[in-house]
């Protein structure tokens, strides 16, 4: 699926991520700046946080309790936030646009 990342300065990058990878894995492989993923996808660092626009929020798989809990610790998280390591890519996500926080720490 093609997924677009917009950084805090409005700069966009669209990458192709294979089905089955997490959004975080795809972004790290493509070296998208702004996805740190310190824990490597274990849902324990919250440095892979992304902001999901309104029109996409209901189209993504729901957060589980772990993700919900980690987001509580994330200083930049708000109601738009998701952890990109917890979302697996499928064809349904084609065209998804995500914004990145100013910093992950």
Residue 101 near residue 49 (C-beta atoms within 8 A):
yes
By CB under 6 A, tell whether 46 contacts ligand FES: yes
- The verdict on 60 binding ligand FES (CB under 6 A) reads no
15 with 30: CB under 8 angstroms? yes
- ∠ CA(13), CA(86), CA(80), 5° rounding? 65
Residue 41 or 56 having the CB closest to ligand FES = 41
66 or 90: CB nearest ligand FES: 66
Q: Which is nearer to ligand FES, 24 or 52 (CB)?
A: 24
Does residue 15 touch ligand FES according to CB under 6 A? no
Count of beta carbons in the 10 Å neighbourhood of residue 64: 10
Q: Which two tokens stand for residue 4?
A: 């677009």
Interacting residues with ligand FES (CB under 6 A): 24, 37-39, 41-48, 70, 83, 85
């Amino acid at each position: 699926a093609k997924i677009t990342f917009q950084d805090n300065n409005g700069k966009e990058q669209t990458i192709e991520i294979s089905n089955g990878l997490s959004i975080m894995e795809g972004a790290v492989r493509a070296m998208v700046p702004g996805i740190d993923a310190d824990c490597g996808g274990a849902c324990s660092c919250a440095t892979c946080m992304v902001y999901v626009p309104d029109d996409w929020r209901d189209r993504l798989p729901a957060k589980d309790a772990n993700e919900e809990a980690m987001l509580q610790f994330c200083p930049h998280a708000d109601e738009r936030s998701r952890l990109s390591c917890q979302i697996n890519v499928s064809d349904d996500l084609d065209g998804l646009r995500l914004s990145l926080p100013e910093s992950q720490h």
